[in-house]
Amino acid sequence: MNVKKTRISLVIISLLLVCAMAVNLTGCTMKVQAKDLMEGITPNNVDALDDLSSQNADVIDFAIRLFKASNENGKNTLISPLSVLCALAMTANGAEEETLAQMEEVLGMTTDELNMYLYSYMKNLPQGDKYKLSLANSIWFTEDERFTVNQDFLQTNADYYGADIYKAPFDKQTLKDINNWVKQNTDEMIPEILDQIPSEAIMYLVNALAFEAEWSEIYEKHQVKDGEFTKEDGTKQDVKFMYGSEGTYFEDEKATGFMKRYKGGKYAFVAMLPNEGVSVSEYIASLDGESLNALLANPQYGTVHTSIPKFETEYKVEMSEILQDMGMTEAFDMYNADFEGLGTSTGGNIYISRVLHKTFISVGEKGTKAGAATIVEMKDGAAAEPTEPKEVYLDRPFVYMLVDCENNIPFFIGTMMDVN
């Protein structure tokens, strides 16, 4: 049977910036040339949830499952589960039948629950002069007459995600527009996410997540010293370490760690150092959402002598295979995917062709700076105190997270295997 195939490019762009320093967030001069269709779509009023605690565990569980599936032995990994969740949740609003059921199973909630949770989460994000976490969403669809978008799909994503909606020719200018939108909404941390727009592409769904914050206690010059970072293969690297003392300590059967807060105390850097003889991959394999939630919710308080290497890394991954391994198979099946709620195409069945995720992070004396971008491309066809000071020196491979302290949500999670 000859079945036409039409790709919907659903691009999930996760952009996360963490900058622990006192800076002014400036606007960007880049302009988008595509037609903004929000002129005809007014977001409806939605009442935000007052309490997110009952669903935080589901989000943490998704974050750990995605992290475990994304981990590459011996390589630096960095993902933004919150960004990926936002982009896939927007996409799920156009899915039906078994495609929808699989997406909801992998994401951990129904679309209605996801919409309400993420709307409420984004609306109540703590903001201050020295810290900011922001999320932006956009939907881009082709002006080619072969594709007709479902207005209810656009309305839902406008209501719950505040999505910018663009109709564009999907030419070189559109490619530039999407990359400029990403660049602007990541404070230029991710200058480019797409290198081309395939002729079969009909839609891109984009999420950008940006975080900037200053350390609660900035490292002074005398606290920065030269040292050696030992990789898992025994190779040693000359790096600069930032030494300090923190007040929050973590310990489980396979690792010890600490929390270093940013200004305002709403967000924090959390690092977990596997015990001697335990590899990073072995430690990650032992994690699950429940154990991480319990770990973050039950720290020990007392003096922890710490060191963090100054590091900067970027990461890019195409997540289609990862998500299929997690159980989301039909959405990527060109013959069986069901996205009728998203729109229709005379070119063939609509399915997800790519999920691109790109991240960047820089950790230094003043704080952390990070960016992430995810693109989904669719085509048609009470704690005990330690009795004595602890020590956690990150001079060998470790797992780290950027955490929302109120909800214990790791909106960034990665591995540091190679500092240079």
CATH number of domain containing 240: 2.30.39.10
Q: Which of 409, 125, 393 has its CA nearest to residue 292?
A: 409
CATH code of residue 210: 3.30.497.10
Looking at residue 110, what is its pLDDT? 97
CB 185 within 8 A of CB 208: yes
Q: Chain-wide mean pLDDT for the chain?
A: 86
Cβ 56 vs Cβ 293: under 8 Å: yes
- DSSP, collapsed to helix, strand or coil, labels residue 358 as strand
Candidate from 43-47, 144-148, 270-274, 378-382 with smallest mean pLDDT:
378-382
Q: Is residue 15 scored above 50 in pLDDT?
A: no
Do 226 and 370 sit in the same domain of this protein?
Answer: no
Same domain, 13 and 101: yes
Give the tokens for residue 203: 């839609």
The region that residue 374 occupies, defined by phi over 0 for left and psi between -120 and 50 for alpha, beta otherwise, is: beta
3-class state of residue 67 by DSSP:
helix
- pTM summary value: 0.88
Domain that holds residue 26: 5-214+312-380
Instruction: Tell me how far apart the alpha carbons of residues 374 and 11 are, in angstroms, rounded to a whole number.
Output: 6
Indicate if 98 and 198 belong to the same structural domain: yes
3-state helix, strand, coil in the chain (%, to 5): 25, 35, 35
CB 179 within 8 A of CB 194: yes
Asked if residues 289 and 62 have their Cβ atoms less than 8 Å apart, the reply is yes
Is the separation of the CB atoms in 205 and 11 below 8 Å? yes
More confident residue, 83 or 385: 83
pLDDT, tens digit (0-9, with 9 covering 90-100), for 228-279: 999 999 999 999 999 999 999 999 999 999 999 999 999 999 999 999 999 9
What are 241's two structure tokens?
């370490």
Asked whether residue 408 falls in the same domain as residue 390, the answer is: yes
Residues 375 and 398 reside in one and the same domain: no
Residues 167 and 57 in one domain: yes
For residue 186, what pLDDT band results from cuts at 50, 70 and 90? confident
Q: Return the number of other C-beta atoms located less than 10 Å from residue 54's C-beta.
A: 10
For residues 207 and 230, membership in a common domain is answered with no
Question: Using one digit for the tens of pLDDT, what is the confidence trace for 211-223?
Answer: 788 899 999 999 9
Residues 28 and 111 in one domain: yes
> Do 69 and 177 fall within a single domain?
yes
Q: Tell me the average pLDDT across 123-147.
A: 87
225 and 208 in a single domain? The answer is no
Residues 304 and 316 in one domain: no
Does 77 share its domain with 185? yes
Number of domains into which the chain is organized: 2
